[in-house]
Structure 1
């Protein structure tokens, strides 16, 4: 073989959302903190992200999680989420995938009935409490970064959608939260394309007109995703997180569910101790609990916990031939959606 680069990955999905975990071959990424490493990928050198997330080595679905040495004291591992658009600071489904991979491969010793894994992320330290039995990670409960409301009921006018209200909230990354009824549709697999197209328009307009920066972590800025929501007859929250360039998150979305819980708390609809069900577009579920309240830069914030499951389904070794003309990766609008035309 004449490979220039090889990276070993554990294939994992969390409630339907793929989150491959790069366990070997990850190069050194400059930065004193995970946030600085994230910023390096997004502003200096994104070749590794393109290698792992674009065609011909990957496709529109899922994420690649880079395992990196932790920078915070007490952390067992650090990780950075890579997706088609950029590196992201935090993801609930991906944190559950990472925890499951660390334990089931033996990279972190599994202890039954419970193992605590501390994850260093760009958004802060995340405590992952895994329920373990017979050598398997059965579920993971994440104590998420503090979540807070940036602005409620912001009116935004979108071509072809009219004027709609959005909540701008932080759940580990920034979200625009929109009631699905506001765009005249409901959340279902059949409506995924309609929701994605609306979500891309809303995200583009908000990032054009609104500057959003975390008050304590300047590397985290901008609206990452638009999540549509609706209430189910049984009281669960149905979610559809739309992701650039044109797909929906298959999981119930941990960071989005955390952001939404912050809106419920701000509106007096949730209190400490409440446990809600967040249900994905495909019907899989997270348990979302409001475990405490705190402050971030003087503003009210909550501490959410997210419980979900992940399954390992394979091992992959991804390689780069130095003579491959598609080394930089590519995306085509036929399967990636019209926004993929911006990828060069």
Structure 2
């Protein structure tokens, strides 16, 4: 497994704000092998109710006229947001990565339809003009110049997760364990700000847990955790994700959250309280040689400038550990 901690390339947040569309950077990481760009685009919420929409259809009222194509070819197979970058000659290179989408809230809600994409761009340093296009909704081609780390910094600071520093402690004893978290919808992470660098949270043998992103959105923290394992620990992790029969408990159970998977579980620790949280989203996969899981959690921001996490991945054979994560701009 060749997982690496790259160099944060952007503080995140909204970089395009137009009536038709907003686009924000969720995460941007530079490595010698390329630039990883995690983007989330959101359209405005359609405030029409069902009868108003039907009336518009009967009246033949359609959306705005298509925006002109200048960098896009005259015809392409896209039907939604396209993302690319410009080389020194001004030529656009359109990129395609993983996609996920949400239809958004009811017309009386808050969030409109969204698209999220993770793109693997070639190695780029110093700066890059990123171009966005969605002509079908009237969104004009928009170029945003992103400042990036220089090549020397990226080559010096990129490190394998197996060699990265590991600073952990034993959990306090005793601890009061409970299930908690914020009773809110998924926060608008594309409008937040990165407040901690990626770091290894737990590691033993060929299993590791990595904090890949910590984003502040108002009073909430969005936490992305990567869990990876190889060989015997991969087989154990896969077996832990497919128990024979394990229905969820009828009441909140911290022990269930700690062990159910996929991947590692986390709790926020304050004084002698450990508050376990369910992931908002998660994905996992692998085989008997390599396992990988990604999960996103939502926590309350700490009162001070340090977030203390209790990290557990018993199915992969990792002991419970506590990690103090400095949180930039808090306190």
Determine if the TM-score, normalized by the shorter chain, exceeds 0.5.
Answer: no
The structure where helix makes up a greater share of residues is: 1
Taking structure 2 as the reference length, the TM-score comes to 0.27
Q: Identify which of structures 1 and 2 has the higher relative contact order when contacts are C-alpha pairs closer than 8 Å and 6+ apart.
A: 1
